Chains A and B, each alone.
Chain A
Amino acid sequence: MANISELMDGWSYGKQANIVTPALATAIWRLTNLNTKPWAKVPVNEDDRAEIGKGHEFPTQLFKSHYNMPTYEISKYCSSEFLAFVMAFSLGNVTAVAGTGATPPTTYTIVPAMGATNPTGLELPYFSFVQQMRPGASAILDEILIGCAIKNWKLAIKNSPGRASATLVAECVTTGQYLTPSGITLPTGAQQLHEFNAGMVTALTINGINYLAGGSGKNFVSLDASWENNFRPGFFPGSGEQDGFQIQGRFEWGDRSFAVQFVVRVQATSEEYANLINQVIGPATITFTRDANNAFTMDIQSMGFNVVELSNTDGIATMQVTGVQLYDPTNGLVTMSITTPQAGICAAA
């Protein structure tokens, strides 16, 4: 018997060499998670109830089928480290450059990989996920899930106080392959990350409207951005097995989508509705800056407005704007820039 608060999560910030090789322990974080559930493993049996020849309609035998692994949410407050991890593993084309100084940060520049030029085709980098409860001789839970990938993420920025004003949730998938015991010794305590809150937004310009200064300053209420990789199921001849159950051997992205919605207060000079009517398009930039070693910028290369809808937010007249992010022929769809003290994110491990 154990309380769920004893659950320890860790995952690799380094990428696996391939989908079946776990990351090295040296590239595994121990981190907290707002999602209090463990990642469940769901082996599925099938039976012979539909087959004739038994003389009756009832099942007589069980057969091992496959690991039907549910998706799992890693939910955290925004931090430079977690943003770099999520963007690198969900988008795929990553550059990393070390800064200067005594404790140089690393700046990652990340864009969505394209199938025609990605060295791993339609597959993104894979990471390993460790979950433990009382690891050791009498472990309640001690396993490493191998071949995990980020299916989607949701970034939420709100006009509320504290860390909850900026959150990032990554929904992950895994193949069904695992090792137990994990063989991983997680660090003694969870690593402290360099977190952002909404007060640290230092640039917020969308489609020509600056929401931090000028006529539209102080009018921004909230923003939700999300990415979906829309993975195809990864069962195929040769995809592998675990305990006699079939597992998935790849996660290939399908039609990906990038959504952005935001809410602003309405005023006499609001430009959003005119931008929609006139089909104005332009870049959008949002930057968080905590200090010289911790910053995040999302550069949407070209954005128009699909819907602008009058609304009510806590008694204030607002407009909810749904953006449409356009692929720019030169600069692509979106570029994420993250500066963080954590080196080696999405590097071979």
Chain B
Amino acid sequence: MSLRLAPDPRIEMQNVPLIYMQSPQGDEIREVQATTTALSPLLSQGWHQVPAPVKPAANPKEAK
């Protein structure tokens, strides 16, 4: 009998990746843990995954 060590994908872990979710109105982007517990309520309300927002480049003049 083999021992299965695979994690249940629903289990929240310490090193769970974060993903970005956008509200259905498009007015809010939230960084959330990619777990079923965290995602189910958002997905069911119409939130959807979006790429990580691009951080504005630092202004070189200001840096000086």
Contact = CB atoms under 8 A, between A and B. Distances in A.
Interface of A: 93-100, 107, 109-111, 113-114, 116-119, 200, 202-203, 285, 287, 289-295, 297, 299, 301, 328, 330-333, 335, 337-339
Contacts of A200: 4
A250 B3 CA distance: 47
Interface in B7-55: 7-10, 15, 17, 19, 21, 24, 34, 36, 39-41, 43-49
Contacts of B7: 292, 295
A331 B34 contact: no
B46 A331 contact: no
Please report whether the interface of chain B is mostly helix, strand, loop or mixed according to DSSP: loop
Contacts of B34: 95, 97, 107, 109
B6 interface: yes
Contact of B43 (A93, A295, A297): A93
Contacts of B39: 95, 109, 335
Which 7 A-B pairs have CB atoms at the shortest separation, nearest pair first?
A117-B46, A332-B44, A117-B24, A97-B34, A111-B43, A95-B49, A337-B9
Given A114-B46, A331-B40, A335-B43, A97 B6 contact: no
Given A287-B8, A328-B44, 12 more contacts: A93-B43, A93-B48, A95-B19, A95-B48, A97-B17, A109-B36, A111-B40, A113-B46, A119-B48, A292-B7, A295-B7, A335-B39
A339 B9 contact: yes
B17 A299 contact: no
A87 B44 CA distance: 15
A117 B6 contact: no
Nearest to A289: B6
13 contacts: A95-B21, A97-B17, A97-B34, A107-B9, A109-B36, A114-B46, A116-B24, A118-B46, A287-B8, A291-B6, A292-B6, A295-B9, A337-B36
B17 A332 contact: no
A285 B8 CA distance: 11
A285 B41 CA distance: 17
Contact of B8 (A100, A297, A301): A297
Contacts of B4: 200, 202, 289, 291
Contact of B40 (A98, A117, A332, A338): A332
A97 B40 contact: no
A333 to B, nearest CB: 8
A299 B10 contact: yes
